[in-house]
Each structure stands twice: as C-alpha cells, then as structure tokens.
Amino acid sequence: MKSRTVASDGVRLAVYEQGDPAKPTVLLVHGYPDTHLMWQDVAARLVEDFHVVSYDTRGSGKTGKPSTMEGYRLEHLGHDLMAVADAVSPDRPVHVVAHDWGSIQAWEAVTEPANADRIASYTSISGPCLDHVAHWMRRPSLKSVRQLMHSWYIGFFHLPMVPTLVWRLWLGRNWGRLLTMVDGVPRRPGHPAPTITKDGINGMSLYKANFRPVTRNPRERRTTVPVQVIQPTRDRYVTAALTENLQKWAPKLWRRTVAASHWVPITHPDVIARMAAEFIQHVSGEPATRSLRRAEVGRHRPPFADKLVVVTGGGSGIGRATALAFAKQGAEVVVCDVNHDTASETAVLAGGRATAYQVNVADESAVAKFAADVAAEHGIPDVVVNNAGIGHAGTLMDATTEEWQRVLGVNLWGVIHGCKSFGELMIAGGEGGHIVNVASGAAYVPSKLLGVYSTSKAAVFMLSDCLRAELASAGIGVSTICPGIVNTNIAGTTTFSGASAAEQAQKQRDSTRIYRRRNFPPERVAAEIVRAVRQRRAIVPVTVESKAARVISRLAPSVLRGVAARF
C-alpha cells in the first residue's frame, strides 16, 4: 500500500493506494466513526482487478480536522472526494463505493453536474442523500416515523457536552465490543481504529453542520451517473424506505439487498466486493450478471425472471411439474434426477430454459459435486426444491434394514444433502434465497402400513422447521410442502415390505388405480410450490385430505392415532 496526502479546502487528506494504477480506479469512502481501515477486507478482494484507493475523511484517522464547524459542510466533503479522484486518476473517471457517512458525502459529489464525467459509477451502502431524505420527510408517513425512531442518535449528537463526555469516558473504550454485541461485527486489527475516540468526537460535527441546514432547505439533487444501492436487511440505523423514491433522482438505478447488519463491508466483504465488481464491470461494458439484471429498477419482467431454480427429482411427477411451472414464470431451471433421460425430457419440455443433470441425491459426494457444478456453470441458485423421493409401504416389523436405508437415503438424506450443499452457497452469496422441501401429509398422519415412509417425511418436516429458524438471519426462507394423494408415478414404483414380486406388482397396480381415481394432478402441487416461494410460506398442505389431516393433527391428534390403530 502506498500513501500520500492530498490538499482540499484547507485540510490535508490521508490517501492510500493499492493495485495497478493502469486498471480502473475504485475509490472507497468510509463512514462514521470509521477510517479507511474499515475497507481493508473489501480492498484485498478488489485489488487484483482494480486500482483501489481509500482515504481518511475529515477529522478521522490521519486526515486533518477542519478549524471550524463550517468545514464539515457537505460541499467541502464533496470537494474532498473529487480532490482525491483528481489526484489518483486524473485522466479517467473513478468508480465510487461508499458506506454510511461516506455515502452521504459521496452523494454530494455524484449529484454535482460538473462531476458527471469524472464519476463512472456509484455504489452506495447504507447512506442516503440528505437532500433526498429531507424531501421524503416532508410527506409524513408511518415509514418516516419509523426511520426517525431508528435515527434517535442524531438528536443525541446535537446535545451540548454530553455526547463528547460519553465518547471520552465510555464509548471510545467499548466501541468495538458494542459493535460485536449489537451488530455482530467481528473484532480484528484495524477496527475500530486506534483513533476511535477522537474520530467519534470529531465526526459528530458532520451531523451538526449538515442536518438542520439541509432539512430546512433541501435542494434538487439529481444525477445521470449509474447508481447501485446496497441495502443491508438488518440495518438498525438506515431503513430501506429512505431510498424508495430514489429513481426520481437517479434514473440509472440498481437496487440490491444483503442479509446483514449496518457494517456489511466488514461482516460480508466477499459479498460487497463481488457486488461492486459486478456493477463496475457491467457499467464498463460487460454483460450483467443474473443478480445484477434482476436488481435493475424499472425493468419489467416475469415474476421469476433472472432467477435460478434447482429441482431435484425433476424427471417426472411433482418435480417435472414444478420445473415447468418455474420456467413458465421466467426462471432458469436446473433439473436433476437419478434417470438422466427423464431429466432431459423435462429440460426439453421447459423450452430451452432448463438444464438436466443425473444425480443420486442419496449420495452426499454426488450432491456436493452437483452443487459445485451448478454454481460454476449457472451461479448461486435463488430457489432450491428438494423434491426427490420414493414410496414404500408395509409394516415396521416387516421392513428390513436395507429398505430403511433405501427410503431414508433418498427421502431424508437426499433432502439433507440438498439443504446443506446449496444452503452453504446461498449463505455465502449473501442475497438470501428460498429452500423448498417436499414432505407429505403422511408426515403428521400415523399409519400401520406407511411407517417407514411416514418416518422419513416426518423427519423432513422437522428438519425444515429447524432449518427455517437457522437460516432466517441469512434471509433464506424454507417452505415445507405436504401433498396428499397426487396422481404421479410414485404409486407405480412404491415397494412393499414382505411381498413377493407378483404381490408387489399387484399392489402397485392397485395403488396406481386409487391415485388415478383421486386424479389430483402434480401441476396443482407445483402451483402451490411457486406460490409458497413468492409468499415465503412456511408449511403448505396440498389436497383436501392433507389439509384436513393437518388441522386434526394440531387440534385432536388422538383422533388420528385412534384411526391408525383401528384400520
């Protein structure tokens, strides 16, 4: 890392550079009460492809402190950013990535018409334009009241003496510990900065110098610069509502979310670096990634356009119907099945919107390889439907160990493998997602003759409940689908404990006849799966018998136990 100082409006800014200056310049602007060190993990991930520059803003780190409160006004902060840009990239426009108060001051530079040719793109994280906010607050709503409650600290910073004393006596010594406890920010070298007490006290002048003047007389601040807004979903201080009308001011707009807290550049540096790089590369002429395409504001698209859906057991029945339903809604679909020919038939029926793979979901290594292949060839899935399953009937006393292993291997372990392999990808991606696990009404209906099958599906039911709680903080939803009697080929392939080959064939014919007579098509289950994902529904019984059994299992479970014992 190289360092230098840049003079701007009476202050000498401490500037830090990494990477090849011949590559596109990315200018990182930190917020309050941070320093340029806040960006060190993001910078490390960008430096291979970009000339990465960061600087300590006014009153922080090694940058000088203005002599008056007036020196913290937005116009000076905007001049600082452009002074650094002119010093480190005089001949080419820079790409700005900013967080918190860094974003607020970057908006000042980005919305200045004279800078339109000097800023190639702007990625804003948890920091709105104060003028935009002032206009928005003039139309009171429940959202504005909620934001005021989140912004309580602004009023506190305007108090005389008390905030300074709090920083000197307690907050400066405990800032890192507080961030870890409240927002899950990891403790690491460089954060918080050694100058945190000084920076915290100086930085309060940012609020005092700007909030009242801007609120009283907001300006019309527009920009033609391409803008990407990244909104952490668990931000305790800056809500998404602050940028809900942003397209009025920034017509070239992309909006993305990360399942994270306010200090997302520290907690999720991989995600922020990837999103910044994708946006910069697209603005520079490269095709947009799937994630970036669906983030573009103003594009009209089908509900699942630019989304990737993975369906296991997609060669027939509910799996095939689900794959086709998502494809019809605009999704790119990846289908796997133990039978490659039937999976390929589904892909053809999807009209070129699907790709087929042959996978035995009971094989952990095969599923892990499948997930890796999908990520490499198609990207991180937005929706994963763990549908693959097999039927089995007969009493528990007649069931062999091999039959238990076979049923649990597909029906339970197949779901576990899918949840783990693809769930890890979704968590790392940082953009949420949805997992659908196909269980059965048999999960909550005891039966003398479906003990093995019901056990596997009941385990999937509880697995989904536990996984839903575990993945909630990552923004990943989990739906449990519980069909009843559905007209698929599962009846014709169900195995029976203790039956000869001839008896098995007869029982399969009898079961198939019953399922056909019931005639509930798999397409209706697929429609419920699509709706569950759109509405993020937790538990979805499908068919009348499954819904009725679900109600009885919750209100009068002894009734179901009695019926199971008698029949």
* Active site positions, annotated: 453
Residue 140 sits at φ, ψ, to 5 deg, of -55, 140
What CA–CA distance (Å, rounded) separates 395 from 438? 23
Name the CA dihedral angle for 487, 489, 491, 493, rounded to a multiple of 10 degrees.
Answer: -170
Distance from the Cα of residue 356 to its chain's centroid: 26
> Helices (DSSP H) in 330-380: which residue ranges?
340-349, 364-377
Assess contact for 422 and 385: CB atoms under 8 A: no
140 — alpha (psi -120 to 50), left (phi > 0) or beta? beta
The closest of 402, 358, 397, 360 to 495, measured between CA atoms, is 402
**How many other C-beta atoms lie within 10 A of the C-beta of residue 545?**
16
Burial level of 519, CB count in 10 A (0-12/13-18/19+)?
Answer: exposed
Amino acid residing at 20: D
* Bond into 287 cis (ω within 30): no
333 token code pair: 């679909």
Instruction: Enumerate the β-bridge partners of residue 336.
Output: 312, 357
What CA–CA distance (Å, rounded) separates 32 from 430? 24
| Strand order through the sheet with 308-312 | 354-358, 332-337, 308-312, 383-386, 433-438, 476-483, 539-542
What CA–CA distance (Å, rounded) separates 101 from 33? 9
Helix (H) or strand (E) holding 309: strand 308-312
Helix axis angle, 74-88 to 196-216, nearest 10°: 120
127 token code pair: 């920091």
Assess contact for 545 and 441: CB atoms under 8 A: yes
Cβ neighbours of residue 40 closer than 8 Å, sequence gap 6 or more:
190
Residue 304 sits at φ, ψ, to 5 deg, of -115, 20
User: Residue for token digits 């200056």?
Assistant: 21
What CA–CA distance (Å, rounded) separates 124 from 306? 23
390 token code pair: 């097999």
